[in-house]
Amino acid sequence: MAEIMPDSAIRPRKEFGKTIAADITHRLREEIIACGLTPGEPLRFDVLRERFGVSFTTLREALTALAAEGLVDAQEQRGFRVAPVSRQDLVEVTDARVLIEVELIRRAIERGDDDWEIAVISTLHRLKRIEQRDPQHPLRDPEWKIAHRQFHQALVSACGSATLLAIRAELFDRAERYRHLSANFRPRPRDKAGEHQAIMQAAISRNPDLAVQLIETHIRSTADNVATYAGHLLDAE
């Protein structure tokens, strides 16, 4: 009973954005990234309308925006569906991330000022504190996810290019969905805390070559993990 009750009854209309459409976009994005909606699953208006308590039009706007981000697949005249996953797509996202993130970390190390250093250090600090709380399943902890995202965001924030940062953010979201996909099957997270610490130190000590190498390894090994433990989900489509 309570599950079927529309959100509008228990939730304020606008949480994240100033418009309902922006709000729904945000909530749908989070849900797709967290694999609360299965990759490839059709996104029917009736269902979503009931769920979020908004109109056709507003939903359409949100879905259109997410389609542009690559999290939703728009099939003209045949509706929308959650973007499918595949080995090929995982490889593409991983390669694109490495290409861009490597460049951005170089620029950030070159240009970063005191504020940047402080942001990197403090976001890592918060991430570590949250990790102590529940070292088992970090991806299930919304706060860990936010802190993790903010640490990686802080690392490259001083790169000087809003354009590349926006592209990076989209790719990060798409990669995070794959991490969630494999989270249930992964035996135990590897030593991420140590990796983050090493990346932070390479960045703060202005060692671009080391930072780049650590970041690339970080991204690729995460993707390898996904391919290993969620392989059956990637081939099924």
Partner DNA sequence: CAAGTCCATATTTTCGAAAATCATATCGTT
Partner DNA sequence: AACGATATGATTTTCGAAAATATGGACTTG
Considering only the stretches 55-63, 162-170, 186-194, 220-228, report the one whose residues sit in contact with DNA under the rule CB under 7 A: 55-63
- Per CB under 7 A, 12 contacts DNA: no
195 is in the binding site of which of its own copies, DNA, none (Cβ under 5 to 8 A by kind)? none
Considering only the stretches 16-24, 40-48, 113-121, 201-209, report the one whose residues sit in contact with its own copies under the rule CB under 8 A: 16-24
Report the C-alpha gap between 28 and 213 in whole angstroms. 34
Q: Indicate the DSSP class of residue 77.
A: T
How many CB atoms within 10 Å of residue 207? 14
Out of 55, 184, 221, 228, name the contact with DNA by CB under 7 A.
55
CB of residue 69 to DNA, shortest distance in Å? 17
Using the minimum distance from each CB to its own copies, give the nearer residue, 39 or 138.
39
Out of 17, 36, 84, 135, name the contact with its own copies by CB under 8 A.
17
| Residue 219 phi, psi (nearest 5) | -65, -45
Report the C-alpha gap between 93 and 47 in whole angstroms. 30
Report the C-alpha gap between 216 and 13 in whole angstroms. 41
Using the minimum distance from each CB to its own copies, give the nearer residue, 166 or 236.
166
| Under 8 Å between Cβ of 111 and 158 | yes
CB of residue 86 to DNA, shortest distance in Å? 21
Structure tokens at 11: 């939730």
Using the minimum distance from each CB to its own copies, give the nearer residue, 17 or 135.
17
Q: How far apart are the first and last CA of the chain?
A: 33
Is the CA virtual torsion 13, 19, 24, 27 positive or negative?
negative
20 is in the binding site of which of its own copies, DNA, none (Cβ under 5 to 8 A by kind)? DNA
One-letter amino acid identity for 150?
Q
Report the C-alpha gap between 55 and 187 in whole angstroms. 42
CB of residue 131 to its own copies, shortest distance in Å? 30
- Per CB under 7 A, 221 contacts DNA: no
Q: In sequence order, which residues have a C-beta less than 8 Å from that of residue 223 and are 6 or more positions away?
A: 90, 91, 93, 94, 175, 178
Site string for DNA, 15-54 (x = CB under 7 A): ---xxxx--------------------xxxxx------xx
Residues that bind its own copies (CB under 8 A): 17-19, 21-22, 57, 60-61, 64-65, 67-70, 76-77, 89, 92-93, 95-96, 99-100, 103, 161-164, 166-167, 171
